[in-house]
Structure 1
């Protein structure tokens, strides 16, 4: 998926009005298609070669080719790229990406890279880009781990309150950088509950938010601890980095995503989470202000 935030005058059409193709040969990943929304200033696209029109009822509508990709690029100020499955798959760079990014940078475009994978911090993702041969700075990266910390900052979350994390190192690092106290994370991955008669599980009454992200060390202890905080601590927030059903951890297959962890806590608390990763409005509002 590729999202492009356009200038106020950008109102791309989903139908072709020109029969003259662009004079510039574009890299494969810039021969994009997708959908556009009039008046929103946003264009969403996937790396294929057609612009898809809305399908009415059961009738099949022929796809229209994007005739002037260069004009579309020139009309857009900021390009927002997904990472997993668009920039890379697992640890493999997708063909055409370096040429695409070089072309956009040469035109002075602002690039933003978003990912719902919360296992890494922005700094760690910066190192991954570097390993893949791409020059991307931290300010251009919007990871859902960072989004969780940024959201807490945006609401002036009290510094004397704590955050319980069902997730991995990326969330903990971003909370540290934002100055928030936290507990949980990978260290709770080995904890078990022995359900003996009369057993009562204690929890920290100072936890004011539970953040749930993708967690390879997910277990029943974490579900119960997070549930107790949300249900018993007055005003405790339930924050999800994303609700993705699947994720692309390797290039071999899809894997169960962070939504499976969020779903477990939702099921036990009967409370809907506040989602801070894509496609949340928080992410788009945050990027629009930068």
Structure 2
């Protein structure tokens, strides 16, 4: 196992200019900042390291995330935060060059809506469909809308049958309608355990469609391409730090970055030992790097 030994901490830090840091399971658990993280991040900044916070959580916009960082006493700027909601908005506006007369139907929360709005993208869905269908006779109210040019699926605490039926209808009746997802994480860590993630909810839509969405968060390279282009990163001196092998570590590997796995989130030691995806290094907790 590629365990990062304490005597190698200083050399490892010196070899990196930019740290891409996952948030859930690396920096915090929910609203609890992991022990020693504030001090470790301050140390890295004092050494001139660039810190970028890269998360698959689409529930918040960069502006909302910044409020969380501030509330938790973690130094950050909006430019240092890259969420999957922002990556999705950039993809729709810059890659798809989405037509002004079309709109995106969103199964997700306010973070996606805010980022789409910041890119000048018309959207519908989100909170307006939180009221679920009450009985089967209401199924006829779900009809195709030719103005919907894309369905964007993200984590949604208010997911219901009405939202799934609308998303399915738009995609089923219009093969040219883009099918997008902020991420495909099956679980996420919170409260000392894990819960079903976006990927679990997404399967309720992708399975009946027999169609896979374009995934815009980790481990796909869309988000990384935006980050590398914006900051002109030297990939050889950039490290992706995360708690998931199939998203964070694979994300770093696909972008030819160094990778560091922390054991404070989703991945167990047993899973690490058995997985075909292996990081360059792993460490028990990120704050350990402060003990060099």
- Cα-Cα RMSD: 1.7
Q: 1:284: which partner in 2?
A: 224
Q: Runs of 5+ in structure 1 lacking a partner? A: 1-51, 54-62
Q: Which 5+ residue runs of structure 2 have no aligned equivalent? A: 231-292
Q: 1:69-94 deviations in whole A, cap 9, x for unaligned?
A: 21221121110111001111011100
CA distance in 2, matches of 1:97, 1:198: 50
**Aligned counterpart for 1:120 among listed residues 22, 46, 60:** 60
The reply to whether residue 238 of structure 1 matches residue 179 of structure 2 is yes
Does structure 1 residue 201 correspond to structure 2 residue 154? no
Q: Which runs of 4+ in 1 moved over 6 A?
A: none
Q: 1:265 maps to what in 2?
A: 205
Alignment map for 1:69-218 (pairs within 5 Å):
69-155=9-95, 156-192=97-133, 194-196=135-137, 199=140, 201-218=142-159
Deviation of the 1:197 alpha carbon: 9.8
Q: The residue matched to 1:217 in structure 2 has which SS? A: coil
Query: Paired residue for 1:224, among 165, 188, 194?
Result: 165
- Deviations for 1:264-285, whole angstroms, at most 9, x for unmatched residues? 1101211111111111111111
- Greater helix share, 1 or 2? 2
The aligned counterpart of 1:45 is none
Contact 2:185/2:199 (CA < 8 Å) preserved in 1?
yes
User: RCO greater where, 1 or 2, for CA within 8 Å and sep 6 or more?
Assistant: 2
- Work out the CA distance in 2 between the residues paired with 1:276 and 1:92: 27
Alignment partners' CA distance in 2, 1:115 and 1:244: 11
Alignment partner of 2:218: what SS?
Answer: coil
Inter-partner Cα distance in structure 1 for 2:47 and 2:125: 45
Deviates more, 1:258-267 or 1:162-171: 258-267
CA distance in 2, matches of 1:197, 1:168: 24
Q: Tell me the secondary structure at the aligned position of residue 140 of structure 2.
A: coil
| Structure 2 SS opposite 1:196 | helix
1:21 aligned partner: none
**TM-score (norm: length of structure 1):** 0.75
